[in-house]
A and B are shown apart, each in its own frame.
Chain A
Amino acid sequence: MPQWIRACATDDIDEEDLIRFDHGSATYAIYHSPDGKFFATSGKCTHEDVHLCDGLVMGHLIECPKHNGQFDYRTGEAKRAPVCVNLKTFATKVDGDDVYIEVP
């Protein structure tokens, strides 16, 4: 049953950046886009077991810190080798000063 979980405060993430958010045994990446919106994906690269939180956000792309593979974090689409498999994305909402994600 999906549920909304508070992930962070809106000012915890600079614009054009991301943070890691762990919940239970799962790890997520929460993004603050340059246009002020928030997005969420699974927290690890689909290529290898690497946390994306140390990566670089450029516009709407997240680049993995290990091999420079890129995803569009709005859709999860793999955009640059060596990543081939899309990231999972999760719905987000802002309530007051808090960012929530919908987790399964």
Chain B
Amino acid sequence: MAKRDYSLLGPDGARAVETGLAAAEWYHTDVPRKVMKDLMTRSDAPAIRDTIILYGCMIAFAAGGIALWGTWWCVPFWLAYGVLYGSASDSRWHECSHGTAFRTPWMNNAVYEIASFMIMRNSATWRWSHARHHTDTYIVGRDPEIAIMRPPAFAKVILAFFGIPDVIAFIPRMIRNALSGPTAEEKTFVPQSEWGKVQRVAIIYTAIYAATIALALALHSILPLMVIGLPRLYGAWHHIMTGLLQHGGLADNVIDHRLNSRTVYMNPVSRFIYWNMNYHVEHHMFPMVPYHALPRLHETIKHDLPAPNRSIAEAFREMWPALKRQLAYEDFFLRRDLPPTAKPYREDFHKAALGEAIPAE
């Protein structure tokens, strides 16, 4: 059984480079060029509509929470506000980092900066970390965004529903970035030309949080922090719930997104919060397709993909036992069956990449 080293500076990452697993050519379903061009077409309208709804709801819920502060009636308002702040910001950060949400670049950038602040990710650093996540999805030692490492740290996973590990990691990193720029690990994926920007962004974030804390102290109330900062804790649960399903329990060190990513059918509210990233195999295979076209892409290529999970609950019922098995046996993963219409997995290639046979579910 292999022990995994997830450090970007460790031996697993170096081995991935040596074996050609890093920056490899990944499997893609064949889609006619005209169909793909149509799917990739950009539009401002869906994202403007969704952004007005999102920020409008956030203002309304925050106003309700402030107006009813001091009574129990404020609780549902803060819970709703928190999910939009601490979870919807994750998907907005994500889509706008790809530049696909809006057709107009400044709109992508504006929402990206706001969402990055809310989700507590340095907007300069994370643009590059996410590029690496797409290059080397779940390649150990290469992908800086592996949510569940093996063996899974269940306590950390549970705490993540309340945003605790992310915030604990973010605050000292923000201060360190503000004082001295990116860390040694960050320098492995952020180009040198962007190091100054990493520091500037961290200084701005630090100043905003310092001002919010100062206001809270001046008012002798945590109310300012209920609006800025704390929702990243009390509203994080939805993005963790959906985010864990993206790759949890599936293969690592493979170059076929059908093996390491999961598509899950979800309810409309979760899809709004998550901006359709439940179509995750599709998103990884074709990251140029905007979120609003992912349902159409799914219909186009589903003949070549494993059957999606039918609901969030069903996906958790599949993933959670697999994570528990990984506690005892790190190499275990769920291998998802392909329909007869699909092109088969390249067993030979993945055997070579893994250095051993693929364990069957």
A interface, CB within 8 angstroms of B = 17, 47-49, 54-56, 58, 63, 65-68, 70, 80-82, 84
Q: Is the CB of A68 within 8 A of B288?
A: yes
Q: Answer yes or no: B128 CB below 8 A from chain A CBs.
A: yes
* Smallest CB separation, A94 vs chain B (Å): 22
Interface of chain A, helix or strand or loop or mixed? loop
Chain A residues lying within 8 Å of B128, measured Cβ to Cβ, are 81-82
Given A48-B135, A56-B40, A58-B42, is A68 in contact with B193 using a C-beta cutoff of 8 Å?
no
**Closest chain B residue to A63, Cβ basis:** B288
Q: Answer yes or no: B229 CB below 8 A from chain A CBs.
A: no
Q: Is the CB of B23 within 8 A of A49?
A: yes
Tell me which of B97-105, B176-184, B250-258, B265-273 binds A.
B97-105
29 contacts between A and B (CB under 8 A): A17-B37, A47-B131, A48-B135, A49-B23, A54-B36, A55-B288, A56-B37, A56-B40, A56-B288, A58-B103, A63-B99, A65-B286, A65-B287, A65-B288, A66-B134, A66-B135, A67-B287, A68-B98, A68-B99, A68-B100, A68-B288, A70-B99, A80-B99, A80-B105, A81-B127, A81-B128, A81-B194, A82-B127, A84-B193
In the assembly, what is the distance between CA of A31 and CA of B93, in Å?
A: 31
- Chain B, interface size category, equals 20 to 34
In the assembly, what is the distance between CA of A54 and CA of B131, in Å?
A: 17
Instruction: Name B100-134 residues within 8 Å CB distance of A.
Output: 100, 103, 105, 127-128, 131, 134
Given A56-B37, A58-B42, is A67 in contact with B135 using a C-beta cutoff of 8 Å?
yes
**Closest chain A residue to B24, Cβ basis:** A49
B interface, CB within 8 angstroms of A = 23, 33, 36-37, 40, 42, 98-100, 103, 105, 127-128, 131, 134-135, 191, 193-194, 286-288
- Told that A68-B287, A82-B127 touch, could you supply 8 new A-B pairs with CB distance under 8 A? A17-B33, A58-B103, A63-B99, A65-B288, A68-B99, A70-B99, A80-B99, A82-B191
Chain B residues lying within 8 Å of A80, measured Cβ to Cβ, are 99, 105
* Smallest CB separation, B232 vs chain A (Å): 25
Chain B residues lying within 8 Å of A81, measured Cβ to Cβ, are 127-128, 194
In the assembly, what is the distance between CA of A47 and CA of B23, in Å?
A: 11
In the assembly, what is the distance between CA of A70 and CA of B40, in Å?
A: 14
4 tightest A-B CB contacts, nearest first: A82-B131, A56-B40, A67-B131, A68-B99
Chain B residues lying within 8 Å of A54, measured Cβ to Cβ, are 36
Q: Is the CB of A66 within 8 A of B40?
A: no
Question: Given A49, A56, A63, A67, which contacts B134 in the complex, CB threshold below 8 Å?
Answer: A67
Q: Is the CB of B100 within 8 A of A48?
A: no
Chain B residues lying within 8 Å of A66, measured Cβ to Cβ, are 134-135, 287
In the assembly, what is the distance between CA of A84 and CA of B40, in Å?
A: 23
Chain B residues lying within 8 Å of A47, measured Cβ to Cβ, are 131
Chain B residues lying within 8 Å of A68, measured Cβ to Cβ, are 98-100, 287-288
In the assembly, what is the distance between CA of A55 and CA of B103, in Å?
A: 15
* Smallest CB separation, B126 vs chain A (Å): 11
In the assembly, what is the distance between CA of A84 and CA of B36, in Å?
A: 26
Question: Given A48, A58, A63, A65, which contacts B23 in the complex, CB threshold below 8 Å?
Answer: A48
In the assembly, what is the distance between CA of A70 and CA of B105, in Å?
A: 11
Chain A residues lying within 8 Å of B36, measured Cβ to Cβ, are 54
Chain A residues lying within 8 Å of B194, measured Cβ to Cβ, are 81
Chain A residues lying within 8 Å of B23, measured Cβ to Cβ, are 48-49
